[in-house]
Amino acid sequence: GCCRLLCKPSALAQHLVRSLGRSLALWGGHWPWSRWPQLQMLRQLLQLPKLELPVARELLQLPDAGLVALDWVMGPRRAGNSSGGGGPSSVLLLIPNAAGKVTGALLELGLQGLEQGFIPVIFNRRGHNGCPLTTPRLQSFGDPGDLREVVTYLRCRHPSSPLLAVSEGSGSGLLLAYLGESGSSSCLAAAACISPIFRGRDWFEAGMPWLYEWPLLLHLKRGLSRYTGSLAEVVDMDRLLGSRSLRELEESLFCRTKSHPTSWEAYWERNEPLHDVDEVAVPVLCLCSVDDPVRGPPASSLPLELFRSSPYFFLLLTPHGGHCGFPRRRPGRCWGHEAVLEFFRAMAEFLPVEERRKGLLRPH
Protein backbone atom coordinates (compact mmCIF):
# COMPACT_ATOMS: atom_id res chain seq x y z
CA GLY A 1 0.00 0.00 0.00
CA CYS A 2 1.47 3.33 1.13
CA CYS A 3 4.30 1.62 3.05
CA ARG A 4 7.91 1.93 1.95
CA LEU A 5 10.67 -0.55 2.69
CA LEU A 6 14.03 1.14 3.18
CA CYS A 7 17.01 -1.24 3.19
CA LYS A 8 20.26 -2.17 1.49
CA PRO A 9 19.62 -4.10 -1.77
CA SER A 10 20.13 -7.85 -1.33
CA ALA A 11 18.53 -11.21 -2.09
CA LEU A 12 16.99 -11.16 1.40
CA ALA A 13 15.49 -7.72 0.76
CA GLN A 14 13.96 -8.91 -2.52
CA HIS A 15 12.44 -11.92 -0.79
CA LEU A 16 11.04 -9.70 1.96
CA VAL A 17 9.44 -7.34 -0.57
CA ARG A 18 7.70 -10.28 -2.24
CA SER A 19 6.50 -11.68 1.10
CA LEU A 20 5.18 -8.37 2.42
CA GLY A 21 3.57 -7.70 -0.95
CA ARG A 22 1.50 -10.84 -0.51
CA SER A 23 0.31 -9.73 2.94
CA LEU A 24 -3.24 -8.36 2.84
CA ALA A 25 -2.51 -6.50 6.07
CA LEU A 26 -0.48 -3.88 4.19
CA TRP A 27 -3.15 -3.17 1.56
CA GLY A 28 -5.91 -0.78 2.57
CA GLY A 29 -8.70 -1.37 5.05
CA HIS A 30 -7.40 1.11 7.64
CA TRP A 31 -9.52 3.37 9.83
CA PRO A 32 -10.21 6.86 8.42
CA TRP A 33 -8.98 8.41 11.69
CA SER A 34 -5.53 6.86 11.24
CA ARG A 35 -4.40 10.33 10.19
CA TRP A 36 -4.82 11.62 13.78
CA PRO A 37 -2.06 9.99 15.85
CA GLN A 38 -2.95 11.92 19.02
CA LEU A 39 -6.48 10.51 18.81
CA GLN A 40 -5.05 7.01 18.44
CA MET A 41 -2.88 7.56 21.50
CA LEU A 42 -5.84 8.81 23.54
CA ARG A 43 -7.82 5.73 22.51
CA GLN A 44 -4.97 3.44 23.58
CA LEU A 45 -4.69 5.17 26.98
CA LEU A 46 -8.42 5.23 27.74
CA GLN A 47 -9.40 1.85 26.35
CA LEU A 48 -9.65 -0.86 28.96
CA PRO A 49 -7.86 -4.12 28.08
CA LYS A 50 -10.22 -6.45 26.26
CA LEU A 51 -7.98 -9.44 26.60
CA GLU A 52 -7.37 -11.42 29.74
CA LEU A 53 -5.06 -14.05 28.36
CA PRO A 54 -4.25 -16.96 30.66
CA VAL A 55 -0.53 -16.99 31.34
CA ALA A 56 1.77 -19.31 33.25
CA ARG A 57 4.29 -17.19 35.18
CA GLU A 58 7.82 -18.41 35.67
CA LEU A 59 10.35 -16.55 37.84
CA LEU A 60 13.95 -16.72 36.67
CA GLN A 61 16.67 -16.05 39.24
CA LEU A 62 19.66 -14.08 37.94
CA PRO A 63 23.30 -14.41 39.04
CA ASP A 64 22.98 -11.52 41.54
CA ALA A 65 19.82 -13.09 43.10
CA GLY A 66 17.53 -10.69 41.25
CA LEU A 67 14.35 -11.97 39.60
CA VAL A 68 12.70 -11.48 36.22
CA ALA A 69 9.35 -12.97 35.24
CA LEU A 70 8.39 -14.87 32.10
CA ASP A 71 4.67 -15.06 31.30
CA TRP A 72 3.95 -17.93 28.91
CA VAL A 73 0.77 -17.20 26.96
CA MET A 74 -1.54 -20.19 27.23
CA GLY A 75 -4.46 -21.28 25.09
CA PRO A 76 -5.29 -23.17 21.89
CA ARG A 77 -2.46 -23.08 19.40
CA ARG A 78 -2.56 -24.03 15.76
CA ALA A 79 -0.95 -27.40 15.12
CA GLY A 80 2.27 -27.38 13.16
CA ASN A 81 5.24 -25.11 12.70
CA SER A 82 4.79 -21.35 12.91
CA SER A 83 6.65 -21.03 9.60
CA GLY A 84 4.49 -23.59 7.85
CA GLY A 85 7.09 -26.35 7.81
CA GLY A 86 7.42 -29.55 9.74
CA GLY A 87 10.00 -28.43 12.29
CA PRO A 88 9.44 -27.20 15.86
CA SER A 89 7.39 -24.06 16.56
CA SER A 90 9.23 -20.78 17.06
CA VAL A 91 9.43 -19.15 20.49
CA LEU A 92 8.18 -15.55 20.29
CA LEU A 93 9.72 -13.36 23.02
CA LEU A 94 7.62 -10.22 23.64
CA ILE A 95 9.37 -7.21 25.24
CA PRO A 96 7.09 -4.46 26.67
CA ASN A 97 8.03 -0.78 26.74
CA ALA A 98 10.68 0.53 29.13
CA ALA A 99 8.04 1.22 31.80
CA GLY A 100 7.13 -2.47 31.80
CA LYS A 101 3.52 -1.75 30.83
CA VAL A 102 1.99 -4.77 29.08
CA THR A 103 -0.42 -3.07 26.69
CA GLY A 104 -3.51 -4.50 25.08
CA ALA A 105 -1.68 -4.34 21.76
CA LEU A 106 1.14 -6.53 23.07
CA LEU A 107 -1.37 -9.04 24.40
CA GLU A 108 -3.10 -9.03 21.01
CA LEU A 109 0.22 -9.78 19.33
CA GLY A 110 0.73 -12.69 21.72
CA LEU A 111 -2.72 -14.03 20.89
CA GLN A 112 -2.14 -13.72 17.14
CA GLY A 113 1.19 -15.47 17.50
CA LEU A 114 -0.45 -18.26 19.49
CA GLU A 115 -3.14 -18.70 16.84
CA GLN A 116 -0.50 -18.93 14.11
CA GLY A 117 1.61 -21.60 15.81
CA PHE A 118 4.19 -19.54 17.71
CA ILE A 119 5.03 -20.03 21.41
CA PRO A 120 4.62 -16.51 22.91
CA VAL A 121 6.28 -15.50 26.17
CA ILE A 122 6.33 -12.01 27.76
CA PHE A 123 9.53 -10.75 29.41
CA ASN A 124 8.95 -8.72 32.60
CA ARG A 125 11.91 -6.81 34.01
CA ARG A 126 12.87 -6.61 37.68
CA GLY A 127 10.07 -5.00 39.68
CA HIS A 128 7.77 -4.67 36.66
CA ASN A 129 4.28 -6.08 36.22
CA GLY A 130 4.19 -7.77 39.62
CA CYS A 131 7.68 -9.28 39.40
CA PRO A 132 9.24 -9.10 42.90
CA LEU A 133 12.21 -6.79 43.38
CA THR A 134 14.60 -8.88 45.48
CA THR A 135 17.66 -6.63 45.07
CA PRO A 136 17.89 -2.80 45.16
CA ARG A 137 18.69 -2.75 41.44
CA LEU A 138 16.58 -2.07 38.36
CA GLN A 139 17.42 -2.54 34.71
CA SER A 140 18.57 0.64 32.99
CA PHE A 141 17.38 1.71 29.54
CA GLY A 142 19.99 -0.07 27.43
CA ASP A 143 21.52 -2.65 29.80
CA PRO A 144 20.97 -6.05 28.11
CA GLY A 145 22.39 -8.19 30.93
CA ASP A 146 19.05 -9.56 32.20
CA LEU A 147 17.74 -10.10 28.68
CA ARG A 148 20.87 -12.10 27.87
CA GLU A 149 20.13 -14.44 30.78
CA VAL A 150 16.54 -14.86 29.58
CA VAL A 151 17.61 -15.69 26.02
CA THR A 152 20.10 -18.25 27.34
CA TYR A 153 17.37 -19.84 29.44
CA LEU A 154 14.92 -19.98 26.52
CA ARG A 155 17.57 -21.57 24.35
CA CYS A 156 18.10 -24.26 26.99
CA ARG A 157 14.38 -24.85 27.49
CA HIS A 158 13.60 -25.00 23.73
CA PRO A 159 16.93 -26.07 22.18
CA SER A 160 15.48 -27.02 18.78
CA SER A 161 13.04 -24.11 18.37
CA PRO A 162 13.95 -20.90 16.49
CA LEU A 163 13.94 -17.94 18.87
CA LEU A 164 12.38 -14.65 17.75
CA ALA A 165 11.96 -11.35 19.63
CA VAL A 166 9.56 -8.42 19.28
CA SER A 167 9.79 -5.17 21.25
CA GLU A 168 7.25 -2.40 21.64
CA GLY A 169 8.05 1.32 21.79
CA SER A 170 10.82 2.29 24.22
CA GLY A 171 11.40 -1.40 25.00
CA SER A 172 13.17 -1.55 21.66
CA GLY A 173 16.14 0.20 23.24
CA LEU A 174 16.79 -2.95 25.26
CA LEU A 175 16.42 -5.30 22.29
CA LEU A 176 18.65 -3.21 20.01
CA ALA A 177 21.32 -2.94 22.71
CA TYR A 178 21.24 -6.72 23.21
CA LEU A 179 21.57 -7.43 19.47
CA GLY A 180 24.53 -5.06 19.18
CA GLU A 181 26.36 -6.37 22.24
CA SER A 182 25.76 -10.05 21.36
CA GLY A 183 26.53 -9.83 17.64
CA SER A 184 26.53 -13.23 15.96
CA SER A 185 26.09 -14.92 19.37
CA SER A 186 22.62 -13.48 20.03
CA CYS A 187 20.87 -16.89 19.60
CA LEU A 188 18.00 -15.07 17.83
CA ALA A 189 16.90 -16.05 14.33
CA ALA A 190 15.28 -12.63 13.72
CA ALA A 191 13.88 -9.64 15.59
CA ALA A 192 11.33 -6.87 15.11
CA CYS A 193 10.83 -3.46 16.74
CA ILE A 194 7.41 -1.79 16.70
CA SER A 195 7.67 2.03 16.88
CA PRO A 196 11.22 1.86 18.31
CA ILE A 197 13.15 4.61 20.08
CA PHE A 198 16.57 4.64 18.39
CA ARG A 199 18.26 7.56 20.19
CA GLY A 200 17.60 7.25 23.89
CA ARG A 201 19.31 10.38 25.18
CA ASP A 202 17.71 12.65 22.58
CA TRP A 203 14.32 11.11 23.36
CA PHE A 204 14.56 11.75 27.10
CA GLU A 205 15.89 15.27 26.63
CA ALA A 206 13.25 16.28 24.06
CA GLY A 207 10.39 15.03 26.20
CA MET A 208 7.07 13.76 24.88
CA PRO A 209 3.51 15.02 24.58
CA TRP A 210 2.06 15.28 28.10
CA LEU A 211 -0.76 12.99 27.00
CA TYR A 212 1.77 10.16 26.84
CA GLU A 213 4.45 11.21 29.34
CA TRP A 214 2.29 11.82 32.41
CA PRO A 215 0.40 8.48 32.39
CA LEU A 216 3.71 6.69 31.84
CA LEU A 217 5.37 8.65 34.64
CA LEU A 218 2.52 7.89 37.06
CA HIS A 219 2.66 4.20 36.09
CA LEU A 220 6.38 4.09 36.90
CA LYS A 221 6.03 5.95 40.19
CA ARG A 222 3.20 3.71 41.33
CA GLY A 223 5.33 0.63 40.67
CA LEU A 224 8.46 2.07 42.31
CA SER A 225 6.59 3.24 45.42
CA ARG A 226 6.02 -0.41 46.33
CA TYR A 227 9.77 -0.80 46.88
CA THR A 228 10.46 2.40 48.82
CA GLY A 229 12.21 0.52 51.65
CA SER A 230 14.71 -1.39 49.55
CA LEU A 231 15.36 1.34 46.97
CA ALA A 232 15.95 3.96 49.68
CA GLU A 233 19.33 2.28 50.27
CA VAL A 234 20.59 3.37 46.87
CA VAL A 235 18.46 6.31 45.63
CA ASP A 236 16.80 9.44 47.03
CA MET A 237 13.15 8.32 47.05
CA ASP A 238 11.81 11.84 47.70
CA ARG A 239 13.55 13.12 44.58
CA LEU A 240 12.52 10.01 42.64
CA LEU A 241 8.81 10.18 43.49
CA GLY A 242 8.83 13.95 43.03
CA SER A 243 10.13 13.71 39.44
CA ARG A 244 8.15 15.81 36.98
CA SER A 245 9.46 14.18 33.80
CA LEU A 246 10.77 10.85 32.60
CA ARG A 247 14.24 12.36 32.32
CA GLU A 248 14.22 13.43 36.00
CA LEU A 249 13.07 9.97 37.03
CA GLU A 250 15.73 8.24 34.91
CA GLU A 251 18.46 10.46 36.38
CA SER A 252 17.26 9.83 39.93
CA LEU A 253 17.24 6.06 39.42
CA PHE A 254 20.50 5.53 37.56
CA CYS A 255 22.68 8.67 37.77
CA ARG A 256 22.13 10.27 41.20
CA THR A 257 22.60 7.06 43.16
CA LYS A 258 24.09 7.00 46.65
CA SER A 259 26.67 4.30 45.96
CA HIS A 260 27.83 4.83 42.33
CA PRO A 261 26.76 8.26 41.05
CA THR A 262 27.50 9.02 37.41
CA SER A 263 26.89 11.82 34.93
CA TRP A 264 24.04 11.93 32.42
CA GLU A 265 26.62 11.83 29.59
CA ALA A 266 28.41 8.75 30.97
CA TYR A 267 25.09 6.98 31.51
CA TRP A 268 24.18 7.28 27.82
CA GLU A 269 27.60 6.19 26.66
CA ARG A 270 26.67 2.79 28.09
CA ASN A 271 22.91 2.79 27.41
CA GLU A 272 22.39 4.15 23.90
CA PRO A 273 20.48 1.48 21.92
CA LEU A 274 22.68 1.83 18.82
CA HIS A 275 26.11 2.08 20.46
CA ASP A 276 27.15 -1.35 19.07
CA VAL A 277 24.81 -1.43 16.09
CA ASP A 278 27.60 -2.39 13.65
CA GLU A 279 27.84 -5.77 15.41
CA VAL A 280 24.20 -6.78 14.79
CA ALA A 281 24.16 -10.02 12.78
CA VAL A 282 20.49 -11.06 12.53
CA PRO A 283 17.66 -9.60 10.41
CA VAL A 284 15.77 -6.82 12.20
CA LEU A 285 12.51 -5.26 10.99
CA CYS A 286 11.70 -1.80 12.34
CA LEU A 287 8.09 -0.76 11.83
CA CYS A 288 7.79 3.03 12.06
CA SER A 289 5.27 5.74 11.27
CA VAL A 290 6.14 9.18 9.97
CA ASP A 291 3.52 10.74 12.27
CA ASP A 292 4.69 9.01 15.48
CA PRO A 293 4.18 11.72 18.15
CA VAL A 294 6.26 9.86 20.75
CA ARG A 295 9.44 9.12 18.81
CA GLY A 296 9.74 12.63 17.36
CA PRO A 297 10.35 14.09 13.87
CA PRO A 298 11.61 11.47 11.36
CA ALA A 299 14.53 13.61 10.19
CA SER A 300 16.15 13.63 13.63
CA SER A 301 14.83 10.40 15.18
CA LEU A 302 15.22 7.84 12.37
CA PRO A 303 18.78 6.60 11.57
CA LEU A 304 18.09 6.35 7.84
CA GLU A 305 21.74 5.77 6.95
CA LEU A 306 21.72 2.60 9.09
CA PHE A 307 19.02 1.06 6.90
CA ARG A 308 20.81 2.07 3.71
CA SER A 309 24.15 0.60 4.76
CA SER A 310 23.43 -2.46 6.96
CA PRO A 311 22.28 -5.72 5.31
CA TYR A 312 20.48 -6.70 8.52
CA PHE A 313 18.20 -3.71 9.14
CA PHE A 314 14.88 -3.16 7.34
CA LEU A 315 12.69 -0.09 7.85
CA LEU A 316 9.00 -0.49 7.03
CA LEU A 317 7.86 3.14 7.00
CA THR A 318 4.22 4.19 6.80
CA PRO A 319 2.84 7.75 6.58
CA HIS A 320 0.20 7.14 9.27
CA GLY A 321 0.09 4.79 12.21
CA GLY A 322 0.95 6.81 15.30
CA HIS A 323 2.91 5.16 18.11
CA CYS A 324 2.38 1.38 18.24
CA GLY A 325 -1.03 2.00 16.66
CA PHE A 326 -1.34 0.93 13.00
CA PRO A 327 -5.10 0.32 13.38
CA ARG A 328 -7.34 -1.69 11.07
CA ARG A 329 -11.10 -1.69 10.69
CA ARG A 330 -11.40 -4.98 12.52
CA PRO A 331 -11.76 -4.06 16.22
CA GLY A 332 -8.64 -4.69 18.29
CA ARG A 333 -6.50 -5.57 15.29
CA CYS A 334 -3.21 -3.92 14.37
CA TRP A 335 -1.96 -4.43 10.84
CA GLY A 336 1.58 -3.90 12.12
CA HIS A 337 1.37 -7.17 14.06
CA GLU A 338 0.46 -9.06 10.91
CA ALA A 339 3.36 -7.44 9.08
CA VAL A 340 5.77 -8.50 11.85
CA LEU A 341 4.55 -12.11 11.80
CA GLU A 342 4.79 -12.11 8.00
CA PHE A 343 8.39 -10.89 8.33
CA PHE A 344 9.20 -13.81 10.60
CA ARG A 345 7.64 -16.26 8.17
CA ALA A 346 9.68 -14.74 5.34
CA MET A 347 12.88 -15.16 7.37
CA ALA A 348 11.98 -18.79 8.14
CA GLU A 349 11.59 -19.42 4.41
CA PHE A 350 14.70 -17.62 3.24
CA LEU A 351 17.43 -18.24 5.81
CA PRO A 352 17.55 -22.08 5.70
CA VAL A 353 17.66 -22.02 1.88
CA GLU A 354 20.45 -19.44 1.94
CA GLU A 355 22.44 -21.44 4.48
CA ARG A 356 22.17 -24.57 2.32
CA ARG A 357 23.22 -22.59 -0.74
CA LYS A 358 26.27 -21.18 1.05
CA GLY A 359 27.14 -24.66 2.23
CA LEU A 360 27.15 -25.95 -1.33
CA LEU A 361 29.26 -23.03 -2.54
CA ARG A 362 31.75 -23.21 0.35
CA PRO A 363 34.98 -24.97 -0.75
CA HIS A 364 35.78 -28.24 1.08
Confidence tier at 330 by pLDDT (50, 70, 90): low
Mean pLDDT of 324-340: 79
> For position 357, what pLDDT does the model report?
65
pLDDT digits (tens, 9 = 90+) for 100-147: 989 888 999 999 999 999 999 999 999 999 999 999 999 999 999 999
Confidence tier at 327 by pLDDT (50, 70, 90): confident
What is the percent of the chain with per-residue pLDDT over 70, rounded to a whole number? 85
Q: Minimum mean pLDDT among 69-83, 240-254, 270-284, 294-308: which range?
A: 69-83
* 172: helix, strand or coil: helix
The CATH classification of domain 4-79+87-199+272-349, taken from the options 3.40.50.1820, 3.40.50.300, 3.40.50.360, 3.40.50.720: 3.40.50.1820
Mean pLDDT of 240-256: 95
> For position 63, what pLDDT does the model report?
95
pLDDT digits (tens, 9 = 90+) for 120-131: 999 999 999 999
Report d(CA 214, CA 222) in Å as an integer: 12
Confidence tier at 361 by pLDDT (50, 70, 90): very low
* 239: helix, strand or coil: helix
> For position 171, what pLDDT does the model report?
96
Report d(CA 46, CA 212) in Å as an integer: 11
Of 32-46, 170-184, 209-223, highest mean pLDDT: 170-184
Q: Please check the confidence at residue 83 and state whether its pLDDT lies above 70.
A: no
Could you tell me the residue ranges of all domains in the chain?
A: 4-79+87-199+272-349, 207-270
Report d(CA 47, CA 14) in Å as an integer: 39
Confidence tier at 86 by pLDDT (50, 70, 90): low
> For position 87, what pLDDT does the model report?
65
Mean pLDDT of 33-43: 57
> For position 40, what pLDDT does the model report?
60
Query: Please, are residues 95 and 166 in contact by the beta-carbon 8 Å criterion?
Result: yes
Average model confidence (pLDDT) across the chain: 88
Taking alpha carbons only, the member of 258, 332, 324 closest to residue 286 is 324
Report d(CA 263, CA 256) in Å as an integer: 8
Report d(CA 207, CA 189) in Å as an integer: 34
Q: Please check the confidence at residue 33 and state whether its pLDDT lies above 60.
A: no
Report d(CA 248, CA 204) in Å as an integer: 9
Mean pLDDT of 87-106: 91
Q: Please check the confidence at residue 348 and state whether its pLDDT lies above 50.
A: yes
- Bigger pLDDT: 213 vs 29: 213
> For position 363, what pLDDT does the model report?
45
Active-site residue set: 292, 323
Taking alpha carbons only, the member of 194, 197, 220 closest to residue 95 is 194
